[in-house]
Amino acid sequence: MSVKKEANGRRSISVEVEVPGTPEEVWDAIATGPGISKWFVPAQVEPHVGGKLVLNFGPGMDSVSEVTAWDAPRRFTATGKGLGPDAPEMATEWTVEARAGGTCAVRVVHSLFADTDEWDNQIGQIETGWPSFFVVLRTYLSHYPGQPGAQFQVMAPVAGTALEGWRALVGKLGLPSPAAGAKIQSQAGTAPLTGVVEEAESESHPNQVIVRLDEPCPGVAVLSTCGMGEYTFFVGSFYFFGPKATEGLKAEKEWQDWLGNSAAAS
């Protein structure tokens, strides 16, 4: 965790990724509701100062911010209660910077003011979460820029710690120990998953794999386990791209049924 602390009480983290595309193409992906919804979570954006930025993390879990600066296609900022109703307001700045070779640097900075270290762990967790979503963003802009998108997420409790639950699920899918660049295919009778591993079991996310999908539909899957209080959950986020993106949504029930059966058998 690399929370930057300043004498005036400002705490901040910064995360950056380089992606292909013109500033306009990248801006469409990170600063519009339809664009954000393709690689992050369902979103709505009112593109002007005073407008609302709404991110939906699940039923009843909307994060609402107010746009405080808007300079398309270079920079926008928004402020809201991103860490919860009792937390200090958190400001978020997004910037797009063109680079040579047809790419752009995308940078997100989260900052808040606090007299104590109480919120440092939470903004540190935000920092470690962005790289996985940036893999989805980079894949979308590399292979499917401007094309339709669709997504679903499945979640189910699993036994044991996050790492124990992860190993068990990988085994039940019939997958070898995932490695970047490896082609993988889940075994018959389990949930559909075929593609190439983009990232697997990194030092910061030992219980996660990111797959560039061939099946159930072209796109990206981010699969992981995480602890939530005294429980452990599997989380599968699926992002589909291209003219047939919505066809991938048919796999949601297969994954839910398989996870339900797997949890019951644990």
pLDDT by residue (tens digit) across 223-235? 999 887 788 999 9
pLDDT by residue (tens digit) across 141-150? 999 999 999 9
C-alpha distances in Å from residue 73, one per residue of 38, 69, 134, 147: 18, 12, 18, 19
| Distance between CA atoms of residues 249 and 252, nearest Å | 6
CATH number (1.20.120.1750, 3.30.530.20, 1.20.1600.10, 1.10.40.30) of 4-143 reads: 3.30.530.20
Pairing of strands 4-5, 43-45: unpaired
pLDDT by residue (tens digit) across 172-223? 898 877 788 999 999 988 999 999 999 887 777 888 999 999 988 999 999 9
Per-residue pLDDT, 6: 83
Instruction: Count other C-beta atoms under 10 Å from residue 13's C-beta.
Output: 20
pLDDT band at residue 57 using 50, 70 and 90 as cut-offs: confident
| Residue-range domain boundaries for the chain | 4-143, 149-265
pLDDT by residue (tens digit) across 64-120? 999 999 999 999 999 998 777 777 889 999 999 999 999 999 999 999 888 777 778
Let me know: does 91 contact 68? Beta carbons within 8 Å: yes
C-alpha distances in Å from residue 116, one per residue of 3, 7, 9, 87, 184: 13, 12, 8, 12, 46
Tally helices (H) and strands (E) across the chain.
5, 14
Asked whether the domain spanning 149-265 has the same topology as the one spanning 4-143, the reply is: yes
Per-residue pLDDT, 264: 47
Phi, psi of 135 (to 5 degrees): -65, -40
Residue 265 in this model has a pLDDT that exceeds 60: no
pLDDT by residue (tens digit) across 150-180? 999 999 998 888 888 888 888 889 887 778 8
Q: Is the peptide bond before 216 cis (omega within 30 degrees of 0)?
A: yes
Per-residue pLDDT, 86: 77
Fold annotation for 149-265: Alpha-D-Glucose-1,6-Bisphosphate; Chain A, domain 4 (3.30.530)
For the chain, report the end-to-end CA distance as a whole number of angstroms. Answer: 34
The structure's pTM equals 0.91
